[in-house]
Chains A and B, each alone.
Chain A
Amino acid sequence: MTSQMLRVAEVEVLTPLVKRFRFEHPEGKTLPLFSGGAHVVVEMEDGETLRRNAYSLISDPQDGSGYEIAVRREDRGRGGSRFMHTKVSEGDPLRVNAPVNLFALDLRARKHVLIAGGIGITPFLAQLRQLTRLQLPFELHYAARSRAEAAGLKLLPQAPMIQVHLSEEGNRLDPGAILAHQPLGTHVYTCGPEGLIVGVEDAAQRLNWPKDVFHSEAFLSPPPGKPFTVTLTRSGLTLTVAPNQSLLEALEAAKVEIPWSCRGGACGRCETEVRSCKGRIAHHDHWLEDAEKSAQTKIMPCVSRFEGEELLLDR
């Protein structure tokens, strides 16, 4: 992985639950530019544990002076966002990996419709700067429960093609109304809670939109769960995965070589063969096909867990 040590240059409280972080090179060097929708993996040394969490970049892709992310504190998560909120302050060094984009704009589109829910606004903040710079037609819809919770309000410019939908103020987002009558060549992108993504997908299907113009990024972080044991056939190790640890993190802690990129079940890099499975794999990824999931012959260690007697992996 290509990573570098950056310095936390700014921390801003956007809402009680969301903070914005800005990273800069300690010697002021320019960072690689990126494309809208890209994410970085931030490494956090939390005591004994090395956490790596992926966050969408929200800053201007054309601006190499720094990278910015927005982190929502998830108190029921494994601890990464809590670490960012409580232990990271201005001036701290943090290791940040090079940007990777798994949610890029399809530049063939005649028009881009972006639909965000809650913290799912993050990838679109960079995309709308890219679209504006390239002078491409777009509209952005941002849904949040209330004004107080809507971190995006502080980050979005005022513009006629940007609409905010606050359900508390009786202005709920209606995917069907947004997608009706769009011109030929429109692509739709959605990011946010599962319910929103399903809602947009259903509306697109109902309106007979083809699958290839629908793009989504579920905001997936590895869910915590019960501890389980896994045996690695190549390295000959048996490991226990702790409740607040992902299988991938357990492998890394044991110094097992394994490629990764998104750490959110989307990119496929850490796909691992299952040699034997006596029990049930809890697949949480968006990568494996349904048939592969039910066959229990592959697992995505970044997000998936296991319950049962024995799990043998080809690692």
Chain B
Amino acid sequence: MPCTEFSPSIFTRPVYADLVSRGAAPAIMLADGDGAEALIDLVARDASVMEQAHVMFIPLATNHGARLKALGAPSYHESPSFAACLERFQKALADARMGTSLYLAGTEGLIGQAMALAVAAGLAPGAIQAEHRGSIARRMQCVHCKGVTEAVTTDPFVCSHCGLTLFVRDHFSRRLGAFQGVCVDAETPGIVPPTQEIQP
């Protein structure tokens, strides 16, 4: 499955392309689910990219782990969730020097959160690449309570924190790694439009 192609309608939506190898330089690689295949494809294009790589993988019920490990990175680690991986990812960023590349692959939720952390750690946006694979679910920030609801596939949806019904605004914050959710029935409480599946 290739890199997901999204409709070009949203100005702030990040544009994802295929990962491009920056050669045998120090690299942090973080993938979830089918994002593993993006890393496997990257290595097929340039095997040297793994020479100094620190690979972190969150399987999300896929079985790509063995193939990913076999790519031979000096450091390979699997975590059951992003939360479980967080400390390790942040330590890798703290240890990094200039010249380190960050490769992200997988869901928009993983990419958004990891990118925000990396920029906060001092990594330049130009040193970060991201390729989207797998679920087109969105990571949504509720503009009212500020809680983030992961893996949103419908519009409108219910905020998992405050319970308001939110519509999905086509407005993406790279800093938060999330789209904006706004109360859909603010003016007419209780009158909610029919639920639709989110399109890519």
When chains A and B are docked, how far (Å) is the Cα of A211 from the Cα of B125? Answer: 10
B126 engages A213 (CB within 8 Å): yes
Q: Which residues of A contact B96 (CB under 8 A)?
A: 184
B101 interface residue per 8 A CB criterion: yes
A208 engages B125 (CB within 8 Å): no
**What distance in Å separates the Cβ of B44 from its nearest Cβ neighbour in chain A?**
21
When chains A and B are docked, how far (Å) is the Cα of A179 from the Cα of B98? Answer: 8
Q: Which residues of A contact B93 (CB under 8 A)?
A: 184
B97 interface residue per 8 A CB criterion: yes
B97 engages A182 (CB within 8 Å): yes
B124 engages A212 (CB within 8 Å): yes
A170 interface residue per 8 A CB criterion: no
**What distance in Å separates the Cβ of A246 from its nearest Cβ neighbour in chain B?**
34
Number of interface residues of B (CB under 8 A): 18
B22 interface residue per 8 A CB criterion: yes
Knowing A179-B98, A184-B100 are in contact, say whether A110-B124 is a contact too (CB < 8 A). no
When chains A and B are docked, how far (Å) is the Cα of A208 from the Cα of B93? Answer: 16
Which residues A17-71 have CB closer than 8 A to chain B? Answer: none
B23 interface residue per 8 A CB criterion: yes
Knowing A183-B98, A184-B100 are in contact, say whether A210-B122 is a contact too (CB < 8 A). no
A186 interface residue per 8 A CB criterion: yes
B98 engages A182 (CB within 8 Å): yes
B127 interface residue per 8 A CB criterion: yes
B123 interface residue per 8 A CB criterion: yes
User: B57-78, CB under 8 A of A: which get 1 and which 0?
Assistant: 0000000000000000000000
Indicate which residue in A185, A207, A211, A212 contacts B99 across the interface (CB closer than 8 Å): A207
Indicate which residue in B97, B124, B125 contacts A181 across the interface (CB closer than 8 Å): B97
Q: Which residues of B contact A110 (CB under 8 A)?
A: 122
Q: Which residues of A contact B23 (CB under 8 A)?
A: 208
When chains A and B are docked, how far (Å) is the Cα of A211 from the Cα of B98? Answer: 12
Q: Which residues of A contact B25 (CB under 8 A)?
A: 207-208
A209 engages B99 (CB within 8 Å): yes
When chains A and B are docked, how far (Å) is the Cα of A160 from the Cα of B123? Answer: 27
When chains A and B are docked, how far (Å) is the Cα of A186 from the Cα of B124? Answer: 9
Knowing A184-B93, A184-B96 are in contact, say whether A208-B101 is a contact too (CB < 8 A). yes
**What distance in Å separates the Cβ of B27 from its nearest Cβ neighbour in chain A?**
9
User: B11-48, CB under 8 A of A: which get 1 and which 0?
Assistant: 00000000000110110000000000000000000000
Q: Which residues of B contact A182 (CB under 8 A)?
A: 97-98
Knowing A183-B98, A184-B97, A184-B98 are in contact, say whether A208-B126 is a contact too (CB < 8 A). no
User: A206-220, CB under 8 A of B: which get 1 and which 0?
Assistant: 011111110000000
Q: Which residues of A contact B127 (CB under 8 A)?
A: 209-210
A207 engages B126 (CB within 8 Å): no
User: A173-202, CB under 8 A of B: which get 1 and which 0?
Assistant: 000000101111110000000000000000
Can you name 13 A-B pairs with beta carbons within 8 Å?
A: A110-B122, A184-B93, A184-B96, A184-B97, A184-B98, A184-B121, A185-B122, A185-B124, A208-B22, A210-B125, A211-B126, A212-B126, A213-B124
- Which residues of B are interface residues toward A (Cβ below 8 A)? 22-23, 25-26, 93, 96-101, 121-127
| Given A183-B122, A184-B122, 16 more pairs with CB closer than 8 A | A179-B98, A182-B98, A183-B97, A185-B121, A186-B98, A207-B25, A208-B22, A208-B99, A208-B100, A209-B98, A209-B99, A209-B127, A210-B124, A212-B125, A213-B124, A213-B126
- A-B residue pairs, 4 tightest by C-beta: A185-B122, A210-B126, A212-B126, A208-B25
